[in-house]
Structure 1
Amino acid sequence: MPKKETFQDLSLPALKGEQELWRWLYTELRAAILGGRLKPGARLPSTRSLAKQYSLSRGTVIAAFDQLLSEGYIRTQVSSGTYVAPIMPGQWLQANRRRSTLKVPASKATLSKRARAMIHGIDLLAPSHSVGKAFRSYEPAIDLFPVELWSRVASRVLRHAPRSLYGHGAAGGYQPLRRAIAEYIGGARGVRCVPEQIIVTSGAQQALDLAARFLLDPGDHVWMEDPGYSGTTQTLRAAGAKIIPVPVDQDGFDVKAARKLSPKARMAYVTPANQFPLGVTMSADRRLELLNWAASIGAWIVEDDYDGEYRYHGRPVAALQSLDHSGSVIYIGTFTKMLFNALRLGFMVVPERLANAFEAARSFVDRHPPTLDQAILAEFITEGHFGLHVRKMRQTYLERLSVLKEAAQKHLDGLLTIEDAAAGMRTIGWLPAGASDKLASKQASMLGLEVSALSAFALKKTQKPGLILGFAGCTPHELRRGVSVLSTDLRGSR
């Protein structure tokens, strides 16, 4: 005589909407279990019985059971049937938490020393909820970026891209982009290289990290501009380097002072075309002196050329790398400052003897840069759009700098002296002697302005009080508004 099934009547509600049958059954059974209508240990109907009762295919019921089984709501017993699990997943987690709280001491595991050094003093940039806020110094003129042109190029590239571009990319970067970069920086910056020397990175910050991690050993001395870019300072500390602050004057990085402080340093970090944050240009004599020092002792020079093309008087100064005949310079560039911040693409130019090593290093970090973005950028460069955009922005930024200076002369006379920037996307407003730039920066921030205190970028040398004011990404209207607000702030703090 056939075995008769005994189980609780489920009485599941009717199917609503266009939900898939298996998902409907899974959802209703799960709700019955969680709601207590199906008690822990209760036997479920067989798949054949459920299929017959609700006019379903047996495959549909099996699919629902498989999902419940994988999530821990039911258990199967061979030759016996399917039962509601004695303990629900949520109950198990809750019970496990109670056991952990009562019996297991809190973990004493900590971050590594390297991680603690890496995150010390880092101020995270907030996501952009506005464009062109005064006086944001790290943003180009996003309001003038040719979005429609970029979209057309991107659409064409994506339509015709071979399927291979959706696969694994080259660690060193998309070859057409490497060729385009090599050709462009050769003409615009005087950089001497072949495409194989270019390593495409996720912005300049990753390039700095690669250079620090793969060229330095813990304890190595590194010459660092003082004042200088805090992102580099943090990267060097994270790599375990000993930072040697080197003063900067009107001729840029002081090589003679650096040699006295640490003659056998392993690396020098410089921004020769447009020193960050003072905006001075390294003189020819000091460039040659720095190159001779590096070649004589086998040291590295990291040249950060993040906005060297935006020079407002005469032609842009050629890169330091163009004078390097010993293979001592690591040249770093970025497209985030030239196009838009969300485009996380930059590059480094390494000596030929290091090309394979850095390609492997790039693979070690995150396999490869995003290939489709690289393909779009490669087309944007080779079709001439990039060069045209840079030339337009050079003129626009000069006009915006003039607006800032005129507004400051009208509203900030005696409160802030604006430096006539020769290059770049930002300038310095000098405060009167004895003023606190950190206090002025804090008060300005409370009024909705984005200004940085110059002293925040000093490592050792005491700087005159000043505020770093970005102008490139701000419309003329926003610059005038920012000057008006800043005037109120500075007059009130007197």
Structure 2
Amino acid sequence: MEFTLLLDPHSPVPCYQQIYAALRQKILTGQLAPRQRLPSTRALAQSLGVARATVTQSYNQLISEGYLQTVVGSGTYVGDQLPETLLHAPDTEPGPSASPSPLTLSAYGQRLANFAAGPSTEPNTPISFRYGRPALDQVPLGIWRQLLSRRCRRADWLDYAADPMGYGPLRGAIATYLTQARAVQCHPDQILITNGTQQALSLATQLLVSPGDTVALEEPSYLSARRIFASQGANLHPIPVDGDGLNVDILADATGPIRLVYVTPSHQFPTGAVLSLPRRLALLTWAQRQGALILEDDYDSEYRYGGRPIPALQGLGSGQSVLYLGTFSKVLFPSLRIGYMVLPPALGPIFSRAKWLADRQVPTLEQAVLADFIAEGHLERHIRRMRSHYDRQRQAMVTALQTHFGDRATILGDKAGLHMMVRFQTDIPDAELIARAEQAGVGLISAAPQYLGNSPGHEFIFSFTELDADAIATGIEKMSTICAQLQS
């Protein structure tokens, strides 16, 4: 038999899919009855003016889904086992009895539902001062590709990892690097490889913080860390930050036991302050006296432009009260989800079990490539080169702010890291300035969400890593113009 199928040669949908959809529709609507014989693939192809292979592909898909069946020596037929309800499904609305039961979340799920759990909205503008990303165009992809190719010629990374703590050679390379570059006191056995800093924070919170425990943290502080602590049911106790970092005197005066304190001492996020040596020693003494633990997040300490990097807090004490966190996402590229923790020896076994239950392991291939990258000296050379690159970008940002704002803009913190926080002398609400800047093609990030309490306002976080000097100057100039227009 012959029948008509309408094909659109200009449609982006391939011809075989058009034929498949048309035949399926005829079967479902009864235009092609069960056990009705269809034309051969050759005949239908000639009728439609398409290649026989195109019709064959359509038939094969319909056969695999049960709409057609073949009979050897006879031909292709509409399937005779199609359910009657599928061919004549009535259009009905579900009644009240069909309403699904409401889902009940756990206490953890309910806490997550109380705040925005996903990534924050970032500006999608030609010039964006968003923070958290390194200069991706400076990543030594050629070297990384060579190391990856070399590793892929081997098969020792295909199986499950033997140790949930991480790939042994990478842990050894990290231990050597941290000892030399950050004065961290550690042995490879103390290092746990994690899927970024987020997982490190999550594991530490699950294992060390019970609902109702108090967690002290800097004010302002890293929003994602704060959300992780809150999701566990912790009581959050903000401690003010000034030019010397966390105010340890105020921490010491806090009433009630504090289970854990979260700090970013080498480049406080987001203010950029560096925790002074007297306060570092005071914090270690306080933690030992109180039996509290310190989470030291050393997220971008490699980049310091006014001298050598500040030694880690962990290396100043016995290492028994400090859990040291680091990441390679800021040093190399964000999709490299490899972070690490340096744990007090007593905590290693329980963190190993928790890591195994969470996701078993970080992908071995990426760990092996990173271990080679470090061991062969590529990481050290990359950091040295990027330190000079980011220093130039930061100077361009400072110059632009001084040129267009003068003393109406105060750069907070030290000469370090991948961002700076700037306080402006203005009466313009943050939201209005952000909206007007976005209309002008400039993306701004307010520091207000990083505060647990009330934000003083007029503070913004600027990254200088992804923009060249011209784009930085243009973005700051546009911001200055907008401020002048809104205040006139």
Deviation at residue 37 of structure 1 after TM alignment = 5.3
Q: Does 1:248 align with 2:244?
A: no
Aligned to 2:47: none
CA–CA distance in 2 between the matches of 1:286 and 1:183? 27
SS in 2 for 1:344: coil
TM alignment of 1:234-383, pairs within 5 A = 234-325=227-318, 327-383=320-376
CA–CA distance in 1 between the matches of 2:481 and 2:169? 52
CA distance change for structure 1 residues 142 and 312 in 2, over 3 Å: closer, same or farther?
A: same
Aligned to 2:140: 146
What is the number of equivalent residue pairs in this alignment?
A: 452
TM alignment of 1:84-103, pairs within 5 A = 84-87=80-83, 98=92, 100=94, 103=97
CA distance change for structure 1 residues 356 and 65 in 2, over 3 Å: closer, same or farther?
A: farther
CA–CA distance in 2 between the matches of 1:241 and 1:446? 40
Give the aligned residue type for 2:119: L
The correspondence for 1:134, drawn from 128, 135, 155, is: 128
Which stretch shifts more, 471-480 or 307-316? 471-480
Which stretch shifts more, 439-448 or 449-458? 439-448
CA distance change for structure 1 residues 404 and 90 in 2, over 3 Å: closer, same or farther?
A: farther
Kept in 2: contact 1:273–1:281 (CA 8 A):
yes
Aligned to 2:171: 178
Deviation at residue 333 of structure 1 after TM alignment = 0.6
- Aligned Cα root-mean-square deviation (Å): 3.5
Unmatched runs of 5 consecutive residues or more in structure 2: 6-19, 41-57, 70-77
Aligned to 1:6: none
Give the aligned residue type for 1:472: T
CA distance change for structure 1 residues 27 and 280 in 2, over 3 Å: closer, same or farther?
A: closer
Give the aligned residue type for 1:167: D
CA–CA distance in 1 between the matches of 2:440 and 2:413? 25
SS in 2 for 1:153: helix
CA–CA distance in 2 between the matches of 1:482 and 1:99? 54
Aligned to 2:441: 448
Deviation at residue 144 of structure 1 after TM alignment = 1.5
Give the aligned residue type for 1:87: P
CA distance change for structure 1 residues 43 and 324 in 2, over 3 Å: closer, same or farther?
A: farther
Deviations 1:265-295 (A, max 9, x none): 0000000001011111111222122212222
Which stretch shifts more, 281-290 or 312-321? 281-290
Deviations 1:383-435 (A, max 9, x none): 11111111111111111111111122222235433347421111122211645
The correspondence for 1:115, drawn from 109, 112, 132, is: 109
Q: Does 1:218 align with 2:195?
A: no
Give the aligned residue type for 1:285: P
SS in 1 for 2:406: coil
Deviations 1:237-292 (A, max 9, x none): 11111100111112211122123224410000000001011111111222122212
Give the aligned residue type for 1:165: W
The correspondence for 1:168, drawn from 160, 184, 193, is: 160
CA distance change for structure 1 residues 428 and 145 in 2, over 3 Å: closer, same or farther?
A: same
Kept in 1: contact 2:272–2:413 (CA 8 A):
no
Which stretch shifts more, 222-231 or 439-448? 439-448
CA distance change for structure 1 residues 356 and 245 in 2, over 3 Å: closer, same or farther?
A: same
Aligned to 2:471: 478
Kept in 2: contact 1:72–1:88 (CA 8 A):
no
Aligned to 1:424: 417
SS in 2 for 1:199: strand
Deviation at residue 121 of structure 1 after TM alignment = 3.2
Deviation at residue 164 of structure 1 after TM alignment = 3.3
CA–CA distance in 1 between the matches of 2:426 and 2:189? 51
Deviations 1:29-75 (A, max 9, x none): 967744635535x4999xxxx9xxxxxxxxxxxxx999979856589
The correspondence for 1:104, drawn from 85, 98, 111, is: 98
Moved over 6 A (4+): 26-32, 64-70, 126-131
**What percentage of aligned pairs have identical amino acids?**
35
CA–CA distance in 1 between the matches of 2:449 and 2:123? 22
Unmatched runs of 5 consecutive residues or more in structure 1: 1-8, 14-25, 51-63, 76-81
Q: Does 1:155 align with 2:134?
A: no
CA–CA distance in 2 between the matches of 1:127 and 1:452? 8
Which stretch shifts more, 148-157 or 225-234? 148-157
Q: TM-score, normalised by structure 2?
A: 0.82
